[in-house]
Chains A and B, each alone.
Chain A
Amino acid sequence: MKKTKNSLKKLYIALIFIFLYAPIAVLFVLSVNDSRSRAVWGGFTLKWYRELFADATIMTALKNTLIIAFVAAFFATVLGLLAAIGISAMKKNKAAVYLGAGNIPLINADIVTGITLMLFFSRFSSLGMMSILLSHITFCIPYVLLSVLPALSGIDWHLYEAARDLGATRSMAYRKVIWPELFPSVMGGFFIALTMSMDDFVVTYFTRGAGVDTLSTMIYGELKRGIKPQMFALSSVIFAVVLILLLLVYLLPSDGKIGRPRITEGLSDAVRSVVPFILVVSVVTTLTGCGSIQNPRYGADPEEEATVSDAGSNTITVLNYGEYLDRDLLEDFYDKTGIRVLYDEATTPEEMYTKYKSGAISYDLICTSEYIIKKLMDENELLQIDTGSMENYGNLDPAILAMAQTYDPDNNYSIPYFYGTVGLLYNSSEITGEVDSWDVLFDGSYSGEIIMQNSIRDAYMCALKYLGYSLNDTDREHMLEAQRLLLKQKPDVEAYFVDEVREEMVAGNATIAVCYSGEAYLANEYNEDLTYVVPKEGSNLWIDSWCMTKRCQNPENATAFLDYLCGEEAGMVNFEYVYYPTPNLAVYNALDEEIREDELVFPPQEVLKNCEVYETLPDDVMELYSEMWKELKVY
């Protein structure tokens, strides 16, 4: 009886530990996996750790994160300590009011704090490194307060009197007796603030300026194109560092000599010798950090100072998807033209739309999906691009420009950047016979083996095309027919996914998936059995294009950047970085025959002809779509 109880206890504890640490173990395993895919074990390697430290973008983000964390923790500690002293000297009722007010950033949802601060900073100053820093100080103060206040109110003031009695002056008594009593809790507050700041995403996301990334916002920006393995390495390093910091916090409050077994005394001494070091680091980063808190600009001379808001000068602010441009080009562009690019990233088209509309950052150029471009056009938010003045405009594929007329009838509001198709990714080792039609999704022969796209238009597109309709069909009956088909298919679907499609397929968790062509190419790199096809009934062609917003102060500079991207040289660098089909014919023609012919990279002409671009649909149709979608996802 007792024995089972004991082993149950052990099992329970084991489960808890597995639950807590398994994800971290996975992270570590991924960080030494010699394959870019999370689903494939490519052998042990430390190359991601090496590449990590060579990656300028990651290192800049890391530097920003650390500067912000240390500087914010430092100021939050100073301010929090002062606030705690003030509050502890107040009468109870008054103290409660002030403490309550002080804790608002803690109680408030991060998102509210973030938005509030964003509105504040974009109204009264500009967003950048400084606004993140001030925001972090704001939300870190309560943690310091909560750590210091109990220690402060628990102080035995007889100690102060004893020190005075023994000859200490007022300030000496505070320094030599009261401060050492408070110190552990102050350090505790400092470390909590430090980890909270490093941890933060939401507030940083809202209050950062264009081009300023911390690790968390950088990782978020990468989500669309998949997280780089270097990030797993970095996360492992951070975990190790944070673990050490937490150990410090845990070990600090009690002195090594008080009731602690001898073994840990040495450790505790070590900790105590580390603390001054950390303080020094903190102060140094605070001092130097304050100097370097300006917005990083590609090619910016250290001496030259310009604020983010004065975009009228030789700076353009650009918003793009994560990992969708080789950043080395930004420097090259500066060298060639003297125009600085403030480069910012986002994950989804909706996010880009919101970021632009919020007005917190004035973007000059945005690279986004066709339906957002259409929306911005309709809302009169875009400037016409003087394509005639662009030397390299002629490089663009007329076929793609023609497709783009779906949303930009005169091709004068957008410049196509990359395009692709939506099709079927399938595991040829598990499918006999040829796959060339959407019917494999609907004929029930791959029950439980299907992954669908978890987005309205892409999901219905498959059904509409299979039924022989246009993917822009607005006929109610046709739409309901597609709905019935999807409802019938639903039991066969393993899952609706967006970002996970590629990894799931590489891992062999499903046989067929609706997939973007760019993802298909990568999936095939990891698993040769994965093949991509655009069904013969036709599919969607998507085009990501650049547009110029009406907030653009200097259209000539913006146009110069677009022209630069359309050039063969930059186009090639970008193609090799992104590996999506490029509409740049100069680049295409310069490629090896083998790549040009690779259907996983470039869709053949007949496939393209068979594809349609999404049109922006009337509101009532979209409403019907979301009704149907709800029904589909719920039942």
Chain B
Amino acid sequence: MKENISIKENSQEPGSRILLELKGVAKSFETTDVLKGLDLKIERNTFVTLLGPSGCGKSTTLRLIAGFEKPDAGNIFFEGKDITGLPPEQREVNTVFQNYALFTHMTVAENIAFGLKIKKYPREYISDRVDYALSLVNLEGYGDRNPGTLSGGQQQRIAIARAIVNEPKILLLDEPLGALDLKLRKSMQIELMKLKEELGITFVYVTHDQEEALTMSDQIVVMNHGMIEQIGSAEDIYNEPKNAYVARFIGEANLKTGRMSSPSVVSIEGVDFPCTDEGFLSGTPVDVMIRPEDVELVDPLAGQICGVVSDIIFKGIFYHITVKTDEYEWKACSTMPTPVGTKVGIHVDPFNIRNMIQGAKEI
């Protein structure tokens, strides 16, 4: 039975992988420019995360896609058609609100059936779909309950069920796990990823939590002050941040300023480090990023640069160790404890050095 009514990806339009496109979308509220000409392409069946600090315009972007706001400039295309002026009820997207926005005067089942009833589906069909949606979010048998009697996590699932039962081509989720505790959040993350696989639709997910973004996304859109800093897979963004802003926002990083001594050597604190990044001319000032786990602590004599351990914190498997050199502090990860005051050498493999254009904005 389940198979018959399962939600399948709509594949009648194989022409393009691009499902949704924002072109030069700008939006301002009163005097503040919230979005400053956003260009973004979202592919079918991907998990896209909009990541950025609070206030950078993520929700606004989502609301533009949903149709709750109209852009001041630019266009939004859905399957190649311009939907910029289309009201929300005519868009094939559904939203999961951060505060769930469940209808408290309706039961759980009535909440989920809301969209289907409006589309005037037969009653039998609706009740099957509601049951199926409830099973997708593991809440079979909760249909007669009132949303007010459910826990936060359960309400969240109802909100998701209410959205996906309409078979949207895109599911928009605005910090859906923000109100949940850590443990629940972790398990919901996994459930959401599974759900996406099961439904085979596109998720556009908003969060300010980089870890969440890294865990769940096929594609991460790093935003800052109403602009996109970088778009890429989790690995891309982690390993090859475009600039210091992205580097700092995603994961732990040692950020230093340096200068290219030659096309494959960068000088930090006057010490030359061989690297593999090319494309910068000799003498160009660059931002250099090295992940702490790539900073090897070695014998002082064997290191490229020497320093003294100034701090050590045990973080479970790793020790976070801070090493003071003449100009900088270096963060390193090590399985070996090294007492404060120990003189150590630092070694970085060339392929672990990431040189970036200078001048990216601060977070």
Q: Which residues of A pack against B, CB within 8 Å?
A: 156, 158-159, 161-170, 172, 176-177, 180-181, 255, 257-259
B68 x A255 contact (CB < 8 A): no
A165 x B89 contact (CB < 8 A): yes
B118 x A172 contact (CB < 8 A): yes
Q: CB within 8 A of B88: which of A161, A176, A255, A259?
A: A161
A158 x B97 contact (CB < 8 A): yes
* B32 contacts the other chain (CB 8 A): no
- Provide the bound-state CA to CA distance between A259 and B89, in Å: 32
B88 x A165 contact (CB < 8 A): yes
A156 x B118 contact (CB < 8 A): no
Which chain B residues lie closer than 8 Å to A163 at the CB level? Answer: 103, 114
- Provide the bound-state CA to CA distance between A170 and B94, in Å: 16
Q: CB within 8 A of B89: which of A167, A180, A181, A255?
A: A167
B152 CB, min distance to chain A CBs, angstroms: 16
* B60 contacts the other chain (CB 8 A): no
A166 x B146 contact (CB < 8 A): no
Residue of A nearest to B144 (CB): A257
A622 CB, min distance to chain B CBs, angstroms: 67
Q: Which residues of B pack against A, CB within 8 Å?
A: 66-68, 87-89, 93-95, 97, 99, 101, 103-105, 107, 114-115, 118-119, 145-146, 148-149, 162-163, 166
A181 x B97 contact (CB < 8 A): no
A490 CB, min distance to chain B CBs, angstroms: 67
B103 x A159 contact (CB < 8 A): yes
A167 x B101 contact (CB < 8 A): no
B101 x A159 contact (CB < 8 A): yes
B118 x A166 contact (CB < 8 A): yes
Given contacts A164-B87, A165-B89, contact A257 B107 (CB under 8 A): yes
A498 CB, min distance to chain B CBs, angstroms: 56
A603 CB, min distance to chain B CBs, angstroms: 72
B59 CB, min distance to chain A CBs, angstroms: 11
A165 x B94 contact (CB < 8 A): yes
Q: CB within 8 A of A166: which of B87, B115, B148, B149?
A: B115
A272 CB, min distance to chain B CBs, angstroms: 11
Q: A162-B103, A163-B103, A166-B115 are known contacts; what are 19 more A-B pairs with Cβ within 8 Å?
A: A156-B99, A159-B103, A161-B88, A161-B101, A162-B95, A164-B88, A166-B114, A166-B118, A167-B89, A167-B166, A168-B89, A169-B87, A180-B103, A180-B105, A255-B104, A257-B145, A257-B146, A257-B149, A259-B149
A166 x B166 contact (CB < 8 A): yes
A255 CB, min distance to chain B CBs, angstroms: 6
- Provide the bound-state CA to CA distance between A159 and B87, in Å: 16
Which chain B residues lie closer than 8 Å to A166 at the CB level? Answer: 89, 94, 114-115, 118, 162-163, 166
Can you list 19 A-B contacts (CB < 8 A)? A156-B101, A161-B68, A161-B97, A163-B103, A164-B68, A165-B66, A165-B68, A165-B89, A165-B93, A167-B115, A167-B118, A168-B114, A176-B114, A177-B103, A180-B105, A181-B104, A257-B145, A257-B149, A258-B146
B146 x A255 contact (CB < 8 A): yes
Which chain A residues lie closer than 8 Å to B104 at the CB level? Answer: 181, 255, 258
Which chain A residues lie closer than 8 Å to B103 at the CB level? Answer: 159, 162-163, 177, 180
Residue of A nearest to B165 (CB): A166
B87 x A168 contact (CB < 8 A): no
- Provide the bound-state CA to CA distance between A167 and B107, in Å: 19
Which chain A residues lie closer than 8 Å to B114 at the CB level? Answer: 163, 166, 168, 176
B102 CB, min distance to chain A CBs, angstroms: 8
Q: CB within 8 A of A165: which of B95, B145, B146, B149?
A: B95
Q: Which 6 A-B pairs have the closest CB atoms?
A: A166-B115, A158-B101, A162-B101, A257-B146, A164-B88, A180-B105
B329 CB, min distance to chain A CBs, angstroms: 45
Q: CB within 8 A of B148: which of A162, A165, A169, A258?
A: A258
- Provide the bound-state CA to CA distance between A162 and B114, in Å: 10
Which chain B residues lie closer than 8 Å to A258 at the CB level? Answer: 104, 146, 148-149
Residue of B nearest to A162 (CB): B101
Which chain A residues lie closer than 8 Å to B146 at the CB level? Answer: 255, 257-258
A167 x B119 contact (CB < 8 A): yes
A218 CB, min distance to chain B CBs, angstroms: 42
Which chain B residues lie closer than 8 Å to A177 at the CB level? Answer: 103
- Provide the bound-state CA to CA distance between A166 and B115, in Å: 5
Which chain A residues lie closer than 8 Å to B97 at the CB level? Answer: 158, 161-162
A333 CB, min distance to chain B CBs, angstroms: 58
Residue of B nearest to A160 (CB): B101
- Provide the bound-state CA to CA distance between A162 and B104, in Å: 13
- Provide the bound-state CA to CA distance between A490 and B104, in Å: 69
Residue of A nearest to B90 (CB): A167
B255 CB, min distance to chain A CBs, angstroms: 39
Which chain B residues lie closer than 8 Å to A176 at the CB level? Answer: 114
Which chain A residues lie closer than 8 Å to B88 at the CB level? Answer: 161, 164-165
Residue of B nearest to A164 (CB): B88
A15 CB, min distance to chain B CBs, angstroms: 38
Which chain A residues lie closer than 8 Å to B67 at the CB level? Answer: 164
A437 CB, min distance to chain B CBs, angstroms: 78
A292 CB, min distance to chain B CBs, angstroms: 37
- Provide the bound-state CA to CA distance between A158 and B88, in Å: 13
Q: CB within 8 A of B95: which of A161, A170, A255?
A: A161
Residue of A nearest to B118 (CB): A167
A630 CB, min distance to chain B CBs, angstroms: 63
Which chain A residues lie closer than 8 Å to B115 at the CB level? Answer: 166-167
A276 CB, min distance to chain B CBs, angstroms: 15
Which chain B residues lie closer than 8 Å to A257 at the CB level? Answer: 107, 145-146, 149
- Provide the bound-state CA to CA distance between A29 and B68, in Å: 63
B118 x A168 contact (CB < 8 A): yes
- Provide the bound-state CA to CA distance between A445 and B175, in Å: 91
Which chain B residues lie closer than 8 Å to A162 at the CB level? Answer: 95, 97, 101, 103, 162
B89 x A164 contact (CB < 8 A): yes
Which chain A residues lie closer than 8 Å to B166 at the CB level? Answer: 166-167
B215 CB, min distance to chain A CBs, angstroms: 26
Which chain A residues lie closer than 8 Å to B162 at the CB level? Answer: 162, 166
- Provide the bound-state CA to CA distance between A163 and B162, in Å: 11
- Provide the bound-state CA to CA distance between A158 and B99, in Å: 8
Which chain B residues lie closer than 8 Å to A159 at the CB level? Answer: 101, 103
B104, B119, B163: most-surrounded residue (chain A CB, <10 A): B104
Which chain A residues lie closer than 8 Å to B93 at the CB level? Answer: 165
- Provide the bound-state CA to CA distance between A180 and B102, in Å: 13
- Provide the bound-state CA to CA distance between A162 and B163, in Å: 9
Which chain B residues lie closer than 8 Å to A158 at the CB level? Answer: 97, 99, 101
A161, A162, A164, A180: most-surrounded residue (chain B CB, <10 A): A162
A156, A164, A177: most-surrounded residue (chain B CB, <10 A): A164
- Provide the bound-state CA to CA distance between A181 and B101, in Å: 12
B105 x A255 contact (CB < 8 A): yes
Which chain A residues lie closer than 8 Å to B99 at the CB level? Answer: 156, 158
Residue of B nearest to A161 (CB): B68
- Provide the bound-state CA to CA distance between A177 and B89, in Å: 15
- Provide the bound-state CA to CA distance between A172 and B114, in Å: 11
Which chain B residues lie closer than 8 Å to A170 at the CB level? Answer: 87
Which chain B residues lie closer than 8 Å to A172 at the CB level? Answer: 118
- Provide the bound-state CA to CA distance between A166 and B94, in Å: 7
Residue of B nearest to A184 (CB): B105
- Provide the bound-state CA to CA distance between A181 and B102, in Å: 12
- Provide the bound-state CA to CA distance between A167 and B86, in Å: 12
A257 CB, min distance to chain B CBs, angstroms: 4
B87 CB, min distance to chain A CBs, angstroms: 7
A163, A165, A170: most-surrounded residue (chain B CB, <10 A): A165
B60 CB, min distance to chain A CBs, angstroms: 13
B9 CB, min distance to chain A CBs, angstroms: 20
- Provide the bound-state CA to CA distance between A167 and B95, in Å: 11
A165 CB, min distance to chain B CBs, angstroms: 5
